Amino acid sequence: MKDYAKSLRDRIAQGGVVAVPGAPDVLTARLIAQCGFEAVYMTGLGATASRLGTPDLGLLSQTEMADQARSMAAVAGVPVIADADTGYGGPLNLRRVVEDYARAGIAAFHVEDQQMPKRCGQLSGARLVTPREAEARLRAAVAARDASGHGMLVIGRTDALGVDGMNAALERARRYADTGVDLVFIDGIQTVEQVEKVAEGLAGPKVVSIVDGTDAARLGLDEISRMGFTLCLYALTTLLAGLSAQAAALAHLRETGGLRTNPDGFDYARFSGLVDLAGHQAFAHEFET
């Protein structure tokens, strides 16, 4: 198995920001890689939406997330950065998550400081554990990673921005950086000003998540790179774009009774290329009697 954690570390060492689109499912992860992106984000919101059709309110279990991670890492062909939520319980639960992600070949994962059940970082009403408890959680994640013998990057995430404001979020992120994690991540950013404040107030390797439709989405990747961010997650871009395209095609079919033509879109031939139909058929034909 290719060491995708090392690949991601090597890429980060080259400098500049890495754009990481989110994938709600395995097929989208493969598409992201084929479109030339260097990594894929296994978003918990996308996984919950694709598997359950529900909001991201802590409904997926640890085993369901690990299953999603295994499937995605097996086909992506590039490093996968996975959401590990709160660790799904105590230190032993978190250790199990880390071990499962290591076996799956995940390149990096983030652990957040919400109480269980957690909720999406863009939603209000999150409840946080104390900074001390969050630090212990992150130290456990680092220790479990080290014990696994796997070089996964550990990302310490705080959701304090929407609960206690920017200063509290920055203070937590600075404390988390001292636990041994590789990067820190303030989630819930919605404005350009917030991105700038995180860039100015947080030294070292850091992650930003840009959500479609927010004021922060006005920022280009070059600007984000100049601000010193290491990873830029686009968690919802493919999910929202896919739903928009599907809704438009279905509305056209319902209203006209005919199929919508899009010469630049996917047809069956292009889909077959994405899933490597020819390769699968060649292997089967070689050994079929």
* Residues 232 and 250 reside in one and the same domain: no
pLDDT band for 26, please (50, 70, 90 cuts): very high
* Residues 129 and 175 reside in one and the same domain: yes
pLDDT band for 1, please (50, 70, 90 cuts): confident
pLDDT at 120: 56
pLDDT at 123: 53
Helix (H, G, I), strand (E, B) or coil at 197: helix
Which domain covers residue 30, as residue numbers? 4-243
pLDDT band for 161, please (50, 70, 90 cuts): very high
Specify the CATH number for the domain of residue 230.
3.20.20.60
pLDDT at 8: 98
* Residues 266 and 196 reside in one and the same domain: no
Helix (H, G, I), strand (E, B) or coil at 40: strand
Q: State the Cα–Cα distance between residues 73 and 197, nearest whole angstrom.
A: 34
Mean pLDDT on 189-210? 97
Percentages (nearest 5) of helix, strand, coil residues in the chain: 50, 15, 35
* Residues 59 and 123 reside in one and the same domain: yes
Nearest alpha carbon to residue 231 among 105, 76, 65, 107: 107
Q: State the Cα–Cα distance between residues 149 and 228, nearest whole angstrom.
A: 29
Q: What is the pLDDT of residues 134-159, one digit of tens each?
A: 999 999 999 999 999 999 999 999 99
Positions marked active-site: 120
User: Percent of the chain scored above 70 by pLDDT?
Assistant: 97
Mean pLDDT on 98-123? 85
> What's the whole-number average pLDDT of the chain?
94
* Residues 155 and 20 reside in one and the same domain: yes
Q: State the Cα–Cα distance between residues 139 and 144, nearest whole angstrom.
A: 9
Task: Tell me the whole-structure pTM to 2 decimals.
Answer: 0.93
* Residues 254 and 202 reside in one and the same domain: no
